[in-house]
Amino acid sequence: MARRSTARHRYSPYDGGPDPLAPPVDLAEALDAIGQDVMAGYSPERAMREFLRRGGQERTGLDEMARRVAEKRRELTARHHLDGTLQEIRELLDRAVLSERGQLARDVDMDDSERSFRQMRLDNLPSSTAAAVSELSSYDWQSSDARADYERIKDLLGREVLDQRFAGMKQALESATDEDREAVNQMLMDLNALLAKHARGEDTPEDFDSFMSKHGDYFTEADGGRPRNVEELIDALARRAAAAQRMLNSMSREQREELMALSQQAFGSPALMDQLSQLDANLQALRPGEDWSGSERFDGEEGLGLGDGTGVLQDLADLDDLAEQLGQTYDGARMDDLDLDKLARQLGNPAAVDARTLQRLEQALRDSGYLKRTSDGQLQLSPKAMRQLGRALLRDVATRLSGRQGQRDVRTSGAAGERSGATRAWEFGDTEPWDVTRTVTNAVLREASDRSPTTGSPGESSPWGAERRGVRLHIDDVEVTETEARTQAAVALLVDTSFSMAMDGRWVPMKRTALALHTLIRSRFRGDALQLITFGRHAQTMDIEQLTALDARWDKGTNLHHGLLLANRHFRKHPNAQPVLLVVTDGEPTSHLEPGGEVYFEYPPHPLTVAYAVRELDNAGRLGAQTTFFRLGEDPGLARFIDSMARRVGGRVVAPELDDLGAAVVGSYLGSRGPAGSTYGHYGDWFGGRGFWVGS
């Protein structure tokens, strides 16, 4: 019979880098939010920061964590006050005096003169608690209960002053013996010797190990765990000592004087206080950067002892650090700056988990290729991010278009043309449907040729054996069906970037529209030539990255004349393509180019400005451009002007709501891509009997 193994295994948290079992971070929501902010004028860096601050639908953001940090800080200062130790000592002293008076009254054998002397001494105790305790240090207590209470005062003071420097000492030294107190005194002496040696640069790792082997039990989880080297030891002690000093600074002058006087009687050992004073001096010299001079205001009713008060001051310091880290307002701020251990201590483990998720999200955004750094060190959206954002916008456009006409998402093959019956090898960027039969056959034949006929079991070298085991597809196996090419188009999208577009909230919808159309042409109609043209006081061509990052412009002027000049230049560069002119505007033309190239502006529009715009529109009509105007706003004068312009060239006018602008422009473009002679009415008439699908 086999003997059961008795080997035992111990497991510890994984510490080899990022958790390999952690779920992948979903960047879609973050990228969409960042893209919207970038189009609204934020830099990508600021947009990413804003998303991390807000959080997602199922993710707590930095602002919510900062709010909880501030709330806990207010709660701590509003709940407590700092004279808890003084109150406790006063109560013990009053109880000891009361017990002693009772004993004097009951002791019938005591000489009356002695009784009177003792009572007079008790009656004349100083009002100061510290002075009263000092006055009674030489008193011969007649009551055993009174003597016990008085000894508790010295014991309490000793434990409190130690608890200020070493968390948990108050409880650990309760009912301590003289040997325990001597052991503490010896630990302090050894600690001061180690710190002095470290300050001189003469200590070794063996010195630290020797100290911890003798006194390591004094450093508990309450101190942040057992330190691993002398630097961690100094850090932990200095943080708590600085908090103790801030607690004293937060007290009134009378409270400080009382406590300092009382502390001299801790454990009845002045040597203990000498060692603690030396410890504080060593720590201040080694860690001058800690806050040794700060103070807090406490207005609550719950008294704090010296040790507990020091712990609260440490908590407040942690909360202040977390507030700064969560604010991310300092130069070079990163999510990795968050102290997850502090966050878990102050707000609980769920908050630390949320923060860790945000850290992973920030790192994933930087590592995924969605954000890239320019030569001057600034972040910007990468082409990969632009494609992802454009696909999301295009899906929204497709949903709006299909919803308007009661249509559904028609995933019909041949969206870019009719099938010709031929196939070819897949190339990057192809969206034609796979020829499944040819693809699988290629994979089977490749695997059969890759295997040696002399190896493996019978049938493995045949295609049928491979089919039984399953076929592994390789990218080189894929073949797609050929489609007939459609007419190439030269598309000019003119978008108004005048003052009114930004003022009336049309800036971001304009950018979303341009990005959606750009994504559609680059993914589904790669043979078409798209030119993005902005026209404000003057016009210019832009690539999609420039337009997406374009800040709102506050210069007055709508130079449609210049925009049409650039559009016609684009059409002439593609003489064999069908010109498609799409104009998005919310105002009549108010500026034009003079023959010398200067910009002329006048409002209301000068007749010459209108004439120049009409002339260039006529030129576009003579080039055969299919023209659509997208009128934004309800201005009657603009409506009359746009209608007359469209009639001159047989164009159309669409007056969409802002949310439907993208669908309107994309729908019009798709209509212009239809068969020659087709009549397209409302922009939703975009299916053309074939349909259009945006892949994820």
C-alpha dist (Å) from residue 477 to 16, 188, 427, 482, 579? 39, 76, 11, 16, 38
| Separation of alpha carbons 656 and 663, rounded Å | 9
* Two structure tokens written together for 595: 């023959």
Ranges of residues in the chain whose predicted pLDDT is under 70: 1-26, 41, 43, 80-83, 158, 164, 168-176, 220-225, 251-252, 255-256, 258-259, 261-269, 295-313, 374-379, 401-421, 428-431, 451-469, 483-487, 673-696
| Separation of alpha carbons 42 and 689, rounded Å | 41
20 burial type by CB count under 10 A (0-12 exposed, 13-18 middle, 19+ buried): exposed
Q: Is the peptide bond before 604 cis (omega within 30 degrees of 0)?
A: yes
DSSP 597: S
pLDDT of residue 278: 87
Half-sphere exposure of 403 (CA within 13 A, CB side): 9
pLDDT of residue 309: 62
Q: Provide the pairing of β-strand 379-381 with 371-373.
A: antiparallel
Helix (H, G, I), strand (E, B) or coil at 90: helix
pLDDT of residue 150: 84
Q: Provide the pairing of β-strand 489-496 with 578-585.
A: parallel
pLDDT of residue 296: 67
- The answer as to CATH 3.40.190.10 being correct for domain 491-672 is no
DSSP 489: E
| Separation of alpha carbons 490 and 142, rounded Å | 109
| Separation of alpha carbons 360 and 18, rounded Å | 9
Question: Under a CB-based contact definition with an 8 Å cutoff, are residues 93 and 137 in contact?
Answer: no
Question: Under a CB-based contact definition with an 8 Å cutoff, are residues 487 and 528 in contact?
Answer: no
| Separation of alpha carbons 149 and 156, rounded Å | 10
Helix (H, G, I), strand (E, B) or coil at 417: coil
Domain residue spans of the chain: 28-80+319-371, 83-297, 419-483, 491-672
One-letter amino acid of 51: F
* Two structure tokens written together for 508: 């971001």
* Two structure tokens written together for 673: 């891509």
309 burial type by CB count under 10 A (0-12 exposed, 13-18 middle, 19+ buried): buried
Task: Say which residues have a Cβ less than 8 Å from residue 389's Cβ, sequence separation at least 6.
Answer: 31, 32, 35, 381, 515
The per-residue pLDDT for range 236-291, each reduced to its tens digit, is 888 888 877 777 777 667 766 766 766 666 655 677 778 888 888 888 899 888 88
Report the Cα–Cα distance between both ends of the chain, in Å, rounded.
59
One-letter amino acid of 534: T
pTM above 0.85, yes or no: no
Question: Under a CB-based contact definition with an 8 Å cutoff, are residues 585 and 605 in contact?
Answer: no
DSSP 434: B
Sign (positive/negative) of CA torsion 275, 281, 283, 286? negative
Question: Under a CB-based contact definition with an 8 Å cutoff, are residues 420 and 485 in contact?
Answer: no
Q: Provide the pairing of β-strand 479-483 with 419-425.
A: antiparallel
| Separation of alpha carbons 359 and 454, rounded Å | 54
| Separation of alpha carbons 662 and 31, rounded Å | 19
Helix (H, G, I), strand (E, B) or coil at 169: helix
Q: Which helix (H) or strand (E) covers residue 612, if one does?
A: helix 607-622
Residue that is written with structure tokens 């998402």 in the block: 409
Task: Say which residues have a Cβ less than 8 Å from residue 390's Cβ, sequence separation at least 6.
Answer: 515, 516, 518, 519, 522, 544
pLDDT of residue 642: 93
Q: What is the dihedral of CA 552, 555, 557, 561, to 10 degrees?
A: -70
Question: Closest by alpha carbon to 560, among 521, 587, 526?
Answer: 587
Half-sphere exposure of 45 (CA within 13 A, CB side): 12
Question: Under a CB-based contact definition with an 8 Å cutoff, are residues 516 and 501 in contact?
Answer: no
Residue that is written with structure tokens 């019909």 in the block: 412
* Two structure tokens written together for 298: 């406490």
* Two structure tokens written together for 273: 């206080």
DSSP 653: E
Q: How many CB atoms lie within 10 A of CB 543?
A: 11
3-state secondary structure 254-290: HHHHHHHHHHCCHHHCHHHHHHHHHHHHHHHHHCCCC
Question: Under a CB-based contact definition with an 8 Å cutoff, are residues 440 and 421 in contact?
Answer: no
Question: Under a CB-based contact definition with an 8 Å cutoff, are residues 239 and 314 in contact?
Answer: yes
Question: Under a CB-based contact definition with an 8 Å cutoff, are residues 627 and 596 in contact?
Answer: no
Rg of the chain over CA atoms, in angstroms? 40
pLDDT of residue 12: 55
pLDDT of residue 463: 47
